[in-house]
Structure 1
Amino acid sequence: MKIKAAVTEGQGQDFNFEEVELASPKANEVLVDIVATGVCHTDAVARDEAIAPLPAVLGHEGSGIVEEVGEGVTRLEKGDHVVISFAHCGECDHCLTGHPTVCETFNELNFGGMNDDSTHRLSKDGQPLSTFFGQSSFGSYAVAHERNVVKVDQDVDIALLGPLGCGIQTGAGTVLNRIKPEFGSTIAIYGAGAVGLSAIMAAKIVGCKTIIAVDVHDSRLELAKELGATHTLNGSKVDVLEEIKELTNGGSTYAVETTGVPDVVRQSLQALRPLGISAIVGVTPEMDIDVHNDLMAEGKTMVGVIEGDSVPNVFIPDLVDYYKAGQFPFDKLVKFYDFEEINQAFEDSKNGETIKPVLKINQ
Structure 2
Amino acid sequence: MRIRAAIADAQTTPFVIEELELDDPQDDEVLVRVVATGICQTDAHVWHQRIPAPLPMVLGHEGAGVVERVGEGITDLEPGDHVVLSFQACGECPQCLSGNPAYCERTAAVNFGGTRRDGTRALHRAAGDVNGHFFGQSSFATHALTTRRNTVKVSKDVPLETLAPLGCGVQTGAGAVLNSFALAEGDTIAVFGVGAVGFSAVMAARAAGAATIIAVDVNEQRLALAEELGATHAVNARNAEDVTDAIKVIASAGVDFVLDTTGRPDMLAHAVSSLASMGQVGLVAGAAPEAVIRATDLAMGKSVRGIIQGDATPQLFIPRLVQMYIDGLLPIDRLLKFYDFEDINTAFSDAAGGDVVKPVLRFDGNRT
Where on the TM-score scale, by shorter chain, does this alignment land: which range? over 0.9
Structure 2 residue identity aligned to 1:333: L
**Inter-partner Cα distance in structure 2 for 1:327 and 1:45:** 30
Task: Please tell me whether the aligned partners of residues 61 and 164 of structure 1 are also in contact (alpha carbons under 8 angstroms).
Answer: yes
How many equivalent pairs are there? 362
Task: Please tell me whether the aligned partners of residues 189 and 256 of structure 2 are also in contact (alpha carbons under 8 angstroms).
Answer: yes
Task: Please tell me whether the aligned partners of residues 62 and 85 of structure 1 are also in contact (alpha carbons under 8 angstroms).
Answer: yes
**Inter-partner Cα distance in structure 2 for 1:346 and 1:89:** 30
- The CA deviation at 1:126 is 5.5
Identity of aligned residues (%): 49
Pairing 1:262–2:287 present:
no
Structure 2 residue corresponding to 1:344, chosen from 337, 343, 346 = 346
Pairing 1:72–2:73 present:
yes
Pairing 1:118–2:123 present:
no
- The CA deviation at 1:182 is 2.2
Task: Please tell me whether the aligned partners of residues 154 and 319 of structure 2 are also in contact (alpha carbons under 8 angstroms).
Answer: yes
**TM-score for both structures, normalised by structure 2:** 0.96
- Name the residue aligned to 1:252: 255
Task: Please tell me whether the aligned partners of residues 88 and 110 of structure 2 are also in contact (alpha carbons under 8 angstroms).
Answer: yes
Query: Deviation string for 1:208-259 (max 9, x for gaps)?
Result: 1000000000000011001100000000011211011121122111110001
Pairing 1:197–2:199 present:
yes
**Runs of 4+ displaced beyond 6 Å:** none
**Inter-partner Cα distance in structure 2 for 1:26 and 1:288:** 45
- Name the residue aligned to 1:144: 146
Pairing 1:20–2:20 present:
yes
Task: Please tell me whether the aligned partners of residues 162 and 332 of structure 2 are also in contact (alpha carbons under 8 angstroms).
Answer: no
Partner SS state of residue 135, structure 2: coil
- Name the residue aligned to 2:109: 108
- Name the residue aligned to 1:279: 282
Task: Please tell me whether the aligned partners of residues 339 and 362 of structure 2 are also in contact (alpha carbons under 8 angstroms).
Answer: yes
Structure 1 unmatched runs, 5+ = none
**Inter-partner Cα distance in structure 1 for 2:97 and 2:64:** 25
Task: Please tell me whether the aligned partners of residues 30 and 68 of structure 1 are also in contact (alpha carbons under 8 angstroms).
Answer: yes
**Inter-partner Cα distance in structure 1 for 2:52 and 2:106:** 15
- Name the residue aligned to 1:317: 319
Task: Please tell me whether the aligned partners of residues 13 and 47 of structure 1 are also in contact (alpha carbons under 8 angstroms).
Answer: no
Structure 2 unmatched runs, 5+ = none
Q: What RMSD over aligned residues (CA atoms) do the two structures have, in Å? A: 1.0
> What pairs with 1:1-363 in structure 2 (closer than 5 Å)?
1-49=1-49, 51-125=52-126, 127-131=128-132, 132-238=134-240, 239-295=242-298, 297-361=299-363, 362-363=366-367
After superposing the two structures, state which structure 1 stretch, 137-146 or 126-135, moved more: 126-135
- The CA deviation at 1:70 is 0.8
Task: Please tell me whether the aligned partners of residues 266 and 291 of structure 2 are also in contact (alpha carbons under 8 angstroms).
Answer: no
Query: Deviation string for 1:45-79 (max 9, x for gaps)?
Result: 00001621000000000000001111110121000
